[in-house]
Amino acid sequence: METDNNLIATAEAKIGRIQYQTIVQSGGHTIIADEPADMNGMNTGMAPYNLLLASLASCTVITLRMFIESKMWVVDEITINLDLSKTEERVHIDSKLTFKGELNDEQRKRLITIADACPVHKMLVGNFEIYTSAE
């Protein structure tokens, strides 16, 4: 296992005997993950792909809000809609941003660039490694 002195987050997931229901803890918070009923789950929480999209969506809008505040632009609401699709060769995420506020075309273009610079986005498209071990 490779150690990293730049640890930014930890998470723990536990699954018992309830079909696919998983308790996930991270950052002092607890959520339930599950699979939908059509995948033999109980549908008591978001499925793993949905959690991945939720992470990207929340990181993107938080990053945008921080940037907008630093520029003192008037934006009342930021919405992002993500769609995940998968083929044998690739995984593809379509992202659509909607802003409620006073933005011109140049500002909107800049916000698209900023959206693509959110930390989770950069991880997903960058050099990403996962090391798995067992006890």
Tens digit of each residue's pLDDT (9 = 90 or more) over 24-76:
999 999 999 999 999 999 999 999 999 999 999 999 999 999 999 999 999 99
Q: Which domain holds residue 19?
A: 1-46
pLDDT level of residue 1 (50, 70, 90 thresholds): very low
pTM: 0.90
61 and 111 share a domain?
yes
40 and 61 share a domain?
no
CA–CA dist 41, 33 (Å, integer)? 10
Q: How many domains does the chain have?
A: 2
41 and 52 share a domain?
no
112 and 100 share a domain?
yes
56 and 85 share a domain?
yes
* Residue whose pair of structure tokens reads 């610079």 in the numeric block: 117
